[in-house]
Structure 1
Amino acid sequence: MSVIVLPIESVYSQLSESLSSNSSVLLQAPPGAGKSTWLPLQLMLSGQFKKIVMLEPRRLAARNIANFLAQQLGEQVGEQIGLRIKQEAKVSSRTRLEIVTEGVLTRIIQQDPELDGIDLIIFDEFHERSLQADTALALSLESQSALRDDLKILVMSATLDSERYQQFLQCPLISSEGRSYPVEEMYVPLRSEREWLAAIPSVIHKAIEEQSGSILVFLPGQKEINFVAQNLGELGDNIDVVSLFGEQNKQQQQAAIAPAPQGKRKVVLTTNVAETSLTIEGVRVVIDCGKKRAAVYNLNTGVSELQTQSISKASAVQRAGRAGRIEPGVVYRLGEKTQFDRRIAHDLPQIKTSDISALMLEAKVWGAEVSALPLLDQPSPAQQEQATQLLQMLEVLDANGKLTPLGAQIHSFGTEPRHAHMILKAQQLEVDIPDITALACALVSLWEEGKQHNPDVVIALSAMLSRPTSSFKQAYQHWCKRLKIAKPAELPISAVPLLIALAYPDRIAKRRGQGFLMANGAGVKVNEQVWPVAEYLAIVSLGGEKGMQVFSATPLHIEELNAYLPYLISQQTVCEFDEKQLKFIHEDRERLGQITLSSKPSRAEIDTQARTQAWLSLIAKQGLSLFKSYGECEQLLTRLKLACKFYPDTFRDLSEHALIADLTWLYPYLEQVKQYDALTKLALKDALMSCLEWSQQQALEKLLPVKIQVPSGSNIKLTYQEEGPAKLSVRMQEVFGMLETPKLCEGRLPLLMELLSPAQRPLQLTQDLANFWGTSYKEVQKEMKGRYPKHFWPDDPANSVATNRVKSRM
């Protein structure tokens, strides 16, 4: 009888059978269960599958898992266990289990949609919900349904919204217990939330004193890691402090995760790179700051900004689990337990918070629209519109949204679309500007380096070229080798603005007032000390408050765009209304996105349709209050909204918001309007009533009348409100003989009667007239007889004749 070493073994038979009888399977297993190591190796050795591809979200985890599995077989990576990550591939004809990162898997599927020879794809740590993982899963499901009904998909994670995922995949769920030991939770209250980072060093000292074993400290990024390392003070000779983050090289990362030397302890300062699929030997204490650095897409600027955010409960559980991998452990969490309990259950998926241009490009190459892909979550229409505009500026899509030949080239280039566009266009400019391709390689290498010590890109690149870092030299050499060009002795540095314009056409900016206007329509701010006189900027990066601060850019001469990049500039005839001058502007403009480069009065006649569209744009911006008769129509608008509320099957939504969202009802009334004054005098009531058919107009008057006839014969105007009862203000004598309160909307809308004195002053509010006659009226009658003796105040108002006259004229 075999001994169960890992919990995943107890569900292996069930999992194997499920994979045999189902196209997809969902596996939920906590940290330490063996899902990332034992399971894929066992599936490979079982002979059930010819070749398995397993996706690991992080390069560090992918490399470590591949090395570990190869060691289990007594082999090197590249034999039965393969590894394929960015700029590193170790595979052979013997490879049966290939560990890949996200972009690699997407490329494999795009190059061979039938996935010839591959019969199982594993998605590990799928709860991280990166955009690339969602993309790869969508393409895998498409391939499975259309081309490979024998392809199996296994989605795995420690923390999943399992019911939702199971419903999406239409597959069985298999759950495994973890091998994790119990982890004690310790909460460290903070005097101020702002002081969380300053508190970390003292928490580390506290943990060292109270606990044994090595310590894993989760921090948002390198900046915080450096701060803590510099402020730890003396820890003792038996404690080593090391850092672990994604941008380190392979040797630095391996040193960080290696066991502490005999007789020593380690304090590992890390980002969420250590959150999943990674075991650091000797760690039994976790200190969790509860923060992470995440890219959040700013729809206004078109920039993904790195923001420090609170992590979800699921991420906190993952982090704490690192402490219980080898023995009982402890997690110190910053803040009160009540704060922890208020966290969201799961992190928002990247597809909801990111630039989706890469996803849209993959969809176009695949031959589908994003909305047609089987995605667990769909991006918003605003995200899709922004991505379309960017891909059109990068010449990936044409005006009709179709993939261009250059777009196909950019995709096959296998790198960031912006960088690919810049390099491919640089190659075309090589004849005019020698060595501009090498300059493009240097720029990409600078951006990949991620560190720029001067906001001006030209100065920063020149400094890097004169004193290059090892990683910059390695990247520069890689790009030159890939493009088969030699590194020239001197680069055409003056062409840097052109290259930035090729990579970031949406961020070309023109000075406007105290700031700049970008081609994508967003306003941004600059450090005037850096670019005091620049009229145009080629911007690379932005951030800060609302993502509006320019971090990296260089001045641009717009004449160069006309000479070398004319495709960026369009000619437009514009017809719009100037709200300040209250007149039409009809111009021929030269534009770069939302930037007007030059303009002149147009000689063409103003087109009626263009003028009408300009009026509609003005109305959409200013609202219906632009019309002088708006005040007279407010009650009509309220009645229309109430009609839709109480009779949605009879009346469509005619609220002011809905009317402005779709102004087609105003078209016929605007065609002959040529002046602003005539526009403001438009008969708004007639236009609004035209939204209703004749039968609806009749129903509106019956259900929600403008006036109501009272027993005296007077027609009294009603006042409606969107919430609450309608109101009828009427002199009390005019409703003598009325036995009950009138009904509106067949009794669905209450009516509040405001009964007035002969001088039109309020005497009583009631929604039950019959009850008022029998109760409170006596008090009112007594007072009114003394104040208005010439008026009729009967003892039995419910059965008396109504009047609008004094007693002598009745």
Structure 2
Amino acid sequence: MQAPRFPIEPLLPAILRSLAAHPRLVLEAPPGAGKTTQVPPALLDAPWLAGRRVIVLEPRRVAARAAARFMAQALGEEVGGTVGYRIRFENRVSARTRIEVVTEGILTRMIQDDPMLEGVGAILFDEFHERHLSGDLGLALALDVQAQVREDLRVVAMSATLDGARLARFLDAPRLTAEGRAFPVAIAHVPARRDEALEAQVRRCVLDALAAHPGDVLVFLPGAREIARVEALLADAGRDVDVLPLHGDLPLERQAAALAPADDARRRVILATNVAESSVTAPGVRVVVDSGLAREPRQDPNSGFARLATVAIAQASADQRAGRAGRVAEGWCYRLWPASQRLEPQRRPEIAQVDLAGLALEMAGWGSSDLRLPDPPPPGALAAARELLQRLGALDAAQAITPFGRRVLALGVHPRLGAMLLAAEDAPARALACDLVALVEARDPLRGGSGLRDDWQSRHRALAALRGGRGDPEAHRSALQAIDQAARNWRRRLRVDAEPPREVPAHALGDLLAHAFPDRIARQHPDDPRRYQLANGRSARIVDESALYGEPWLVVSELRGDPRGGDGLVLRAAPVDAAALERDFAARFVEEDRVVWDARTRGIAAVRERRFDRIVLDVRPLPTPDRSRFADALVDAVRQLGLDALPWTPGLVQWRERVRCLRDWMPELGLPDLSDAALLDTLDDWLKPALAGLTRLDALDEADFGEALRSGIDWSLRQRIDALAPVRIAVPSGLERTIAYAHDAPPVLAVKLQELFGLAETPRIAEGRVPLTLHLLSPAGRPLQVTRDLASFWANTYPDVRKEMKGRYPRHPWPEDPWSATATHRAKPRGT
């Protein structure tokens, strides 16, 4: 039987030529072109590969297994020979393996463990458009290896819908595009009916598609829960119809059944997650039913982890899904959203919307924070991740990885959970820690019920009941089975021989979880038993019916924050033994003498404070405080209260504005920055000396404060300030008038019009660089005109002003020729 030909085959010689001449390549190929299964074998005989392995990165386990199986069958071999795969908790490679298909976390571990990548000649990043954080990191590490030590390493980024031009620029790489083999696909939008649930909408569309069109039906649903519900609803689809689920948690044989060719006498409805969007092919599909939804990682502020959230897909994903219907003949796609709904063009990269603790630890383990990532991590999220890693003990104060952090990194799990696994001291505790990792990573196995179940104890009891052959009516059996399997995998991974305990002491779960959530260890408030203060300084409450009521110490693994800044709500927690905290977190218990600002008394408070992290355990007054620290406390008070708490006088306010103006007008003077931000940043330099010996902020007098503010400017420069930006200026009437300064506006001279007779030009300051803004006033002091061009005012505007004002103020001079008139601040004598 002749092997099937793939659209990408004519492009294979060009791919080989490109990689022979250049170490990087961007390859665009539509779904079904064959890039995943045809490119890797085509590289095996390339001279530059020199007998080394080809690593193929697949974002999903199902795709990794399927791709390896297809390539092995094409070679007439079993998986584990020339072609193998490695995914979490599963390894099918041997010494003969030349093509190794791996998932994203596996690749990161390979590079971290062997930066030289001995025996690897090429790394292919398949479906790179999905922009998983691990894929971005894997690419950055591979590029760093290539730049530093392995110029001969080939790196290929492949996808059907990536922004190829942008990625080619980023990689400085050639770009090749393969032709597809697709038939027309008719698109129909079938939005939900009034009050129609998603599962019912899917059932309706599937039955309509089976009746109207030939071939198999591929249904895209967000996750396993929706697949199970739709599978149950389609039980009556027909005797000749097989309904098959396809997602990553299924046993291998069930995944294989969904991907195998169908019996010609039967039709199939394949219910899949977005694993079927790319990399794997379900043969015989003529109809796609697309829910328009997917589960993607998003930062969950409640748990501190990235959790899978149900989100609308991007337009690129919608196009790929529809294309699955046109692989063998013309097809049809039912989209279960209105035609008016607009989708985002491309999927947002995970790096912009997930927890970055794992990335920060990987970067520290690699020894560089300058990795070339396709998109930079958000600075705030990265800083928060590093702060957490320091709390866990994985990074030191200089943000370098610690020996403990390297052990956490080697586990390939979220750093919180890795820290917990390593904290378990004996085999039974490690078995319990494996249970907790499985429970924390999984969806909640308990049913909703009537109230909030906020304790971990009930969940572990449900898991123990499953293992003991007892059912729990309040738990999902399938969810518990998945958790049990994950816990077994972790015990096997960590070589834990002990069986998990059937019964757990009251604080055992919390004592372990505290190592994963040291920032969320919480102590009961002395005046409110439902309120807790957390180690990170925040506060939280438990619900009235909480199973945790009365516990003096908790570790809170899930916490719903209050957007208004009030107490959070404890969603899930476990009791912690105070003695275990003293033993395991001794360094976080501190006793410190503090001299602080007391906002209530507006004075200094000297106390001896005992704390666990930021939880205050005990406060006692100090009879003999260290008075040398009072100034520090008063400086902190100004930081809290702001600069307005200082004794500003109008003259000092104007002096500061004069300096700020001159700093802009005449930068060559080198005047200091006296903005609010700069003054607050330098309080220790200019204000603290003036506060020495004081016990209250209001004891600082105006003169000392003024001298402190001027302390950064020497005497000669102060004289120049007075000359260049004078407080007052002489006017033709013989008097001096005040100039008003403001940093964000021109300087203002408010003066009665009669006092400027005979003055032809606008007065200027700062060596003539800055004209004053003249507020010309009536004899009663009311504004008549604002101008920065006095000559133009006399020539053009004054005649109209004179005509109007002469009758209103007859005792004041209004000469026809203001240029030669005598300036005055007085009215005319009576009778003149």
TM-score, normalization: structure 2? 0.84
Tell me how far 1:566 sits from its aligned partner.
Answer: 2.6
| Contact kept in structure 1, 2:729 and 2:738, CA below 8 Å | yes
| Alignment match, 1:518 | 534
List per-residue Cα deviations over 1:332-375 (Å, max 9, x = no partner). 5566667527x3x4444333333322223223333x14x23333
Residue 376 to residue 713, structure 1, CA distance change in 2 (3 Å): farther
- 1:774 pairs with one of 795, 814, 821: 795
**Are 1:538 and 2:555 matched, yes or no?**
yes
| Alignment match, 1:16 | 16
| Contact kept in structure 2, 1:576 and 1:584, CA below 8 Å | yes
Tell me the amino acid that sits aligned with residue 470 of structure 1: Q
- 1:734 pairs with one of 733, 755, 775: 755
| Alignment match, 1:462 | 461
Residue 545 to residue 123, structure 1, CA distance change in 2 (3 Å): farther
Count of equivalent residues:
799
Tell me the amino acid that sits aligned with residue 597 of structure 1: L
- Measure the CA separation in 1 of the matches of 2:721 and 2:218: 69
**Are 1:497 and 2:504 matched, yes or no?**
no
Tell me how far 1:797 sits from its aligned partner.
Answer: 2.8
Residue 756 to residue 166, structure 1, CA distance change in 2 (3 Å): same
Tell me how far 1:496 sits from its aligned partner.
Answer: 1.3
| Alignment match, 2:692 | 672
Tell me how far 1:554 sits from its aligned partner.
Answer: 1.6
* Secondary structure in structure 2 of the residue aligned to 1:37: helix
Tell me how far 1:193 sits from its aligned partner.
Answer: 13
**Higher mean C-alpha displacement, 71-80 vs 199-208:** 199-208
| Contact kept in structure 2, 1:301 and 1:548, CA below 8 Å | no
- Measure the CA separation in 1 of the matches of 2:676 and 2:359: 37
| Alignment match, 1:619 | 638
| Alignment match, 1:81 | 83
**Higher mean C-alpha displacement, 74-83 vs 556-565:** 556-565
Tell me how far 1:402 sits from its aligned partner.
Answer: 3.8
Tell me how far 1:406 sits from its aligned partner.
Answer: 2.6
List per-residue Cα deviations over 1:581-635 (Å, max 9, x = no partner). 3233444433333222334445774374x54444444333332222231876666
* Secondary structure in structure 2 of the residue aligned to 1:378: coil
| Alignment match, 2:374 | 376
- Measure the CA separation in 2 of the matches of 1:646 and 1:272: 61
Equivalent positions of 1:221-620 (< 5 A) are 221-222=223-224, 242-258=244-260, 262=264, 266-297=268-299, 302-304=304-306, 306-333=308-335, 340=342, 343=344, 345-366=345-366, 368-369=367-368, 371-427=369-425, 430=426, 435-453=428-446, 454-468=453-467, 469-481=480-492, 482-487=494-499, 490-494=502-506, 495-512=508-525, 515-530=531-546, 531-543=548-560, 548-601=568-621, 605-606=625-626, 608=628, 611-620=630-639
| Contact kept in structure 1, 2:286 and 2:329, CA below 8 Å | yes
Tell me the amino acid that sits aligned with residue 508 of structure 1: I
Residue 157 to residue 736, structure 1, CA distance change in 2 (3 Å): farther
| Contact kept in structure 2, 1:66 and 1:77, CA below 8 Å | yes
| Alignment match, 1:801 | 822
| Contact kept in structure 1, 2:606 and 2:621, CA below 8 Å | yes
| Contact kept in structure 2, 1:673 and 1:679, CA below 8 Å | no
**Higher mean C-alpha displacement, 645-654 vs 100-109:** 645-654
- Measure the CA separation in 2 of the matches of 1:322 and 1:630: 76
Give me the CA root mean square deviation: 4.1
Residue 741 to residue 246, structure 1, CA distance change in 2 (3 Å): farther
- Measure the CA separation in 2 of the matches of 1:246 and 1:206: 28
- Measure the CA separation in 2 of the matches of 1:709 and 1:198: 87
Residue 473 to residue 232, structure 1, CA distance change in 2 (3 Å): closer
- Measure the CA separation in 2 of the matches of 1:707 and 1:537: 66
| Contact kept in structure 1, 2:25 and 2:174, CA below 8 Å | yes
TM-score, normalization: structure 1? 0.86
- Measure the CA separation in 2 of the matches of 1:480 and 1:233: 38
- Measure the CA separation in 2 of the matches of 1:230 and 1:747: 87
| Contact kept in structure 2, 1:574 and 1:588, CA below 8 Å | yes
Tell me how far 1:89 sits from its aligned partner.
Answer: 0.3
- Measure the CA separation in 2 of the matches of 1:745 and 1:211: 85
- Measure the CA separation in 1 of the matches of 2:242 and 2:650: 75
List per-residue Cα deviations over 1:39-76 (Å, max 9, x = no partner). 11211255652211111121121111111111111211
Residue 774 to residue 283, structure 1, CA distance change in 2 (3 Å): farther
| Alignment match, 1:158 | 160
| Contact kept in structure 2, 1:410 and 1:420, CA below 8 Å | yes
Tell me the amino acid that sits aligned with residue 534 of structure 2: M
- Measure the CA separation in 1 of the matches of 2:656 and 2:326: 64
**Higher mean C-alpha displacement, 255-264 vs 506-515:** 255-264
Tell me how far 1:97 sits from its aligned partner.
Answer: 0.5
Tell me the amino acid that sits aligned with residue 482 of structure 2: S
Tell me how far 1:257 sits from its aligned partner.
Answer: 4.5
* Secondary structure in structure 2 of the residue aligned to 1:84: strand
Tell me how far 1:697 sits from its aligned partner.
Answer: 6.2
| Contact kept in structure 2, 1:435 and 1:492, CA below 8 Å | no
List per-residue Cα deviations over 1:543-577 (Å, max 9, x = no partner). 57759443221222323311454344344444432
| Alignment match, 1:104 | 106
Tell me how far 1:642 sits from its aligned partner.
Answer: 5.8
List per-residue Cα deviations over 1:384-417 (Å, max 9, x = no partner). 4323332233222334444333333333334333
- Measure the CA separation in 2 of the matches of 1:325 and 1:746: 80
Equivalent positions of 1:676-715 (< 5 A) are 676-678=696-698, 681=701, 686-690=707-711, 707=728, 709-715=730-736
Tell me the amino acid that sits aligned with residue 471 of structure 1: A
**Higher mean C-alpha displacement, 521-530 vs 298-307:** 298-307
List per-residue Cα deviations over 1:638-667 (Å, max 9, x = no partner). 666666667778667654245435545435
* Secondary structure in structure 2 of the residue aligned to 1:808: coil
- Measure the CA separation in 1 of the matches of 2:663 and 2:165: 37
- 1:628 pairs with one of 630, 643, 647: 647
Tell me how far 1:708 sits from its aligned partner.
Answer: 5.0
Tell me the amino acid that sits aligned with residue 154 of structure 2: K
* Secondary structure in structure 1 of the residue aligned to 2:116: coil
Structure 1 gaps of 5+ residues are none
List per-residue Cα deviations over 1:139-160 (Å, max 9, x = no partner). 2223223322222222223333
| Contact kept in structure 2, 1:445 and 1:472, CA below 8 Å | yes
Residue 227 to residue 619, structure 1, CA distance change in 2 (3 Å): farther
* Secondary structure in structure 2 of the residue aligned to 1:528: coil
- 2:130 pairs with one of 116, 128, 131: 128
| Contact kept in structure 2, 1:106 and 1:135, CA below 8 Å | yes
Tell me the amino acid that sits aligned with residue 526 of structure 1: I
- Measure the CA separation in 1 of the matches of 2:630 and 2:61: 56
Tell me how far 1:331 sits from its aligned partner.
Answer: 4.8
Max radius of gyration: which structure? 2
Tell me how far 1:775 sits from its aligned partner.
Answer: 3.6
| Contact kept in structure 2, 1:18 and 1:25, CA below 8 Å | yes
